[in-house]
Structure 1
Amino acid sequence: MAPALLAVGAAGHAGTVAVALHNELLEQDIAITMATSRHGSGPGVILGCSPSTTARSTMPGTTLRHAFHVPAPPPVVFAHLSEPSNYVGLSPLVVAVRDVRREPGETRFVAVERFRFLGFVKYDNLIEVTLRATEEGIEGEVDSPGGVRLGYRFGLAGDGMGTAVEDVLTVHATLGPVLRYAARKARQVQLARADILAGRAPTLT
């Protein structure tokens, strides 16, 4: 988350996709509830604004947290999360990564998220991802069409049997219904990512 990695398809295939998205937003216009899973504990969703930039601070926001265990050493998990190509499949929505630009202090790339509306209408959403290494782990931002902005952080710490991962996502959007839709998708990706990353542990080197 992403790492994560989400967005709302709000452009392209204007007629059919717009109608499908509008209908789904109406159906899903409900509050995000507190959530936990078997991977972690504590509050899963925290409503509120957690600004990372001046622009984001003026937008409604939702912060989602998830803690889980990966049976692999922190340096190995860190190396895996530092490579853009590894995010294909790590988010169930991400089907491709391209245009990787390695710059001093950060890496930028474009991730392709694939959405399906009404079960058969395909929409590929291109999102711009920034990835940075920190002393605590990996962090960055995602800019998506549709007025959706995402900040993410993977905190990594040794726990004696592998790595304790704290996955934190902060989702911002200009419109409330879009925020709720994006937050719901982000939470689904966040929980799925824990299973996928833990499942990759035996192959990480």
Structure 2
Amino acid sequence: MTTTVQLLDSLDVPHGVPQMKLWTEHLPIQIKNQGNTFVCWAYVAAKHYEYVRAITYPDDPHISFSVQQLIDGVCPSPRKVDKKGGYKWRASSALQWIVDNGLATEADYPMAPYRGCFRQLMSNWKFRASSVKLIPDGDEDEVIRVVAKHPIAACVEVYPSFIKLEKGVYRGPTPEETSKG
């Protein structure tokens, strides 16, 4: 299946949903480059939880949550960890891990150089999520409805066409980008 880049002038917004919601007015959005370590899923899950919590409890102080705890705690097998301490995983699985185990703050469980997998982590963390909702692939109406309430979590393979995008909606890499290597 080939995906192409398509820029749209507008989206059909379902009735009752705001035409625009700019979350950056309310949240300290940080773009992180984790390098080539295959841990983007952990950044996505921790930041998503952080932002949804900030929206849900706007009067509470902003809290940064631990990416490292997810990297250490979710680890499927030490054999799957690369020499940089990363491994491929799904952001949705990491979000479910937060529901099941809770998540520490960045201050309590900071980023560290490669440490390997830790199976015996404390699971009684103060901050817990109640559920995770997955949006089916291609359900743009549901994406729009959810984004009206809070940001969504997504991992994106970064291709040159994504980096060069200045406006519009990114619809995926060009055929030339996906045919390389």
Q: TM-score, normalised by structure 1?
A: 0.24
Task: Select the structure of larger CA radius of gyration.
Answer: 2
Give the TM-score, by structure 2 length. Answer: 0.26
Which has the larger strand fraction? 1
Greater RCO, 1 or 2 (C-alpha within 8 Å, sep 6+): 2
